[in-house]
Amino acid sequence: MKSGFRIGRIISIPIELHASWFLIFGLLTWSLATGLLPQEYPELSTAWHWILGAVTSVFFFGSVLAHELGHSVLALRNKVPVRKITLFIFGGLAQIEKEPPTPGAEFLIAIAGPLTSLGLAAVFGSLWLLDQAVPYLAAPSIWLARINLILAVFNMIPGFPLDGGRVLRAAVWQWSGSYSRATRIASTVGQLTAYGFIGFGIFEMFMGRFMDGLWLVFIGTFLNNAASSSAAVSKLQEAIKGVRVADVMPRNLLQVPGLITLQRLVDEYMLSAGQPSVIVGDGHDLRGVLTLQDIRALPPRKWPFTTAAQAMSPVSSMISVSAQTELRQALEMMQAKGISQVAVKESDQIVGVLTQDQIQQYLQLRSRLGM
């Protein structure tokens, strides 16, 4: 998911609002201000309906944030880093940097969110009883209690990547001893669940409840994409199991001088020789690495006037891994940190560079060989 607007940090975890959040916040506020609240409090003015609707929406997304923080706190306790929490059109997402180390940790991290929502449902349900002491509290409180209950129940549907799907994966992982097999099974159940949402949504649309059906189709499509992505990741992890960085990293990367222009580099080396990345340096002086991503970051009109040294990623600023590191770990680290290459070291000496392009080429070659 693309980065959004950072609004702060909670327990050192960045909190962001995706652009789509503003749309759903506006729609939810409009729905409350023109539907529920005028029915419950007709004596209030339209302006107060909108104010109360906006406040209720803020508490709703606060509940979603608390749900994701439940996951995040348990993840941190199990030494699983959390990159950030993003609120978006379908709710919230805690971006965990790596998978839990054990089935037990997976279960605890997954179940923490729904339990948090159940706790909030109880809190807002209790506030509903205070309406006589605090005016205009009943309708927002009971609505928030119901929506948190729905959030807990919905997330426990056993379809990956919902929390229930992660609980299912933890159970299968514990039973089979295979994380990859558990992910495949949970992802398959997730895809079947997504098809169920899409099918029921289409049925609702034909029955005249167009917006309700369309929303279910959107949710089903989102779940299907997420489940398919998880299945693909599991397949990838199986393909590179036991493979080391040294097995993939080319040791004969082309080295070019820092003063060569990008235009000449593309024309004479990358296109003609099929080099997706090159080392920039002179002799044993390795200064940096230049990949296709680095070049694509600049418009072609600037290539004749930009040198490799200006566009490269300096070795001094690159994250490094050992040549004996498992490829899976190196790839997870690159994805978690949002980088496309790492320096490779042997005996504290940089011996090359590993890029995501090289990993992709390696996987394509394995696929062609039927491996």
DSSP code of 129? T
d(CA 343, CA 346): 10
Q: Which long-range contacts (CB under 8 A, 24 or more apart) does 195-203 make?
A: 195/220, 195/224, 196/220, 197/223, 198/224
In Å, what is the CA distance from 157 to each residue of 111, 194, 196, 232?
Answer: 12, 11, 12, 21
Which of 68, 97, 106, 326 is flagged as catalytic? Answer: 68
**Nearest one of 182, 176, 192, 200 to 228, comparing CA atoms:** 192
Question: Following DSSP, what letter does each residue of 55-87 receive, concatenated?
Answer: HHHHHHHHHHHHHHHHHHHHHHHTT--EEEEEE
In Å, what is the CA distance from 236 to each residue of 50, 240, 320?
Answer: 49, 6, 22
Which residues touch 227 (CB under 8 Å, ≥6 apart)? 159, 160, 161, 165, 187, 188, 190, 191, 193, 194
Catalytic site residue 43? no
| 207 token code pair | 């029955």
Which residues touch 30 (CB under 8 Å, ≥6 apart)? 53
CB atoms within 10 A of CB 155: 21
DSSP code of 253? -
Q: Is the dihedral of CA 306, 307, 308, 314 positive or negative?
A: negative
Q: Please tell me whether the peptide bond between 300 and the residue prior to it is cis, using omega within 30 degrees of 0.
A: no
In Å, what is the CA distance from 329 to each residue of 232, 258, 283, 318, 322?
Answer: 17, 31, 30, 16, 11
Write phi, then psi, for 220 (nearest 5 degrees): -60, -40
| Catalytic residue IDs | 68
